Amino acid sequence: EVQLQASGGGLVQAGGSLRLSCAASGFTFDDYAIGWFRQGPGKEREGISLIVLGDSATWYADSVKGRFTISSDNAKNTVYLQMNGLKPEDTAVYYCTADKVQNANAVVAESWGYWGQGTQVTVSS
């Protein structure tokens, strides 16, 4: 059974940093990708980053490029999202997702079969 556990959210001032973690289990890491989506108040769910676990290829949405970094520790079955230079508009519930590489589309939420429970990130101005 695929399980994802997201953690690391919190309240931070604008310009600050947070590191989100996604602990994954129940699948072969090399065959999967992990994505991060977020949904802010009154906004649609937005795909912001993806990592292909087999070769560490990454992708970022323009809204976070240069500020967020995705990485994986395959020995710990954990993916991280380092978020620097946080802005109030980054306030959202952040979700990690997983699916086989051939199924995963970084910006299409419906393409991901497995979702974590979400972690709240609030950035104050």
> Is residue 61 predicted with pLDDT exceeding 90?
yes
- Highest mean pLDDT (candidates 13-17, 28-32, 101-105, 106-110): 13-17
Measured torsion, CA atoms of residues 114, 28, 46, 80, in degrees rounded to the nearest 10: 120
Percent over 70 (pLDDT), the chain: 100
> Is residue 91 predicted with pLDDT exceeding 90?
yes
2: left (phi over 0), alpha (psi -120 to 50) or beta: beta
> How confident is the model at residue 53, as a pLDDT?
93
d(CA 49, CA 77): 17
> How confident is the model at residue 29, as a pLDDT?
86
Give the CA distances from residue 61 to residues 13, 105, 106, in Å, rounded to whole numbers and listed in that order: 22, 12, 9
> How confident is the model at residue 98, as a pLDDT?
97
User: What are all long-range contacts of 109-112, with beta carbons under 8 Å and residues at least 24 apart?
Assistant: 109/37, 109/45, 109/47, 112/35, 112/37
> How confident is the model at residue 92, as a pLDDT?
98
d(CA 125, CA 102): 40
pLDDT per residue as tens digits for the range 8-23: 999 999 999 999 999 9
Reported residue count of the chain is 125
> Is residue 3 predicted with pLDDT exceeding 90?
yes
